Amino acid sequence: MALDKTGLKNNIEALLTTLKDYDGTGDETQAKAIEKFANDLANAIDTYVKTATVATTVATVVIGTLPAGPVAASGSGSGTGNLS
């Protein structure tokens, strides 16, 4: 699956809107607001990156000797997975 760029953009816009609305009143200090923004942004990026699907192809060649004589073989494989 492709990365969800629109979802990341929407998350960042929501975070910035929340930070923009910070007015310095109430219990939340500026430092707490910045820390919350940084944590929320890190979580949004982490979620975005983990939407990736990784695909790989592997080719192998084996050459060796056994008691019965020389051996040559090849193989291949492919797979997909998600980041975690």
The ranges assigned to domains in the chain are 5-49, 55-82
- Tell whether the model's pLDDT for residue 83 goes beyond 90: no
Digit-coded pLDDT (tens) for 33-73: 889 899 999 999 999 998 888 889 999 998 999 888 899 99
Q: 0.85 exceeded by the pTM?
A: no
Please report the pLDDT score of residue 1 as a whole number: 64
What is the average pLDDT across 16-38?
Answer: 84
User: What is the Cα–Cα distance from 84 to 80, expressed in whole angstroms?
Assistant: 13
What is the average pLDDT across 6-28?
Answer: 87
Express as a percent the part of the chain with pLDDT over 90: 45
Backbone φ and ψ for 68, nearest 5 degrees, come out as: -80, -10
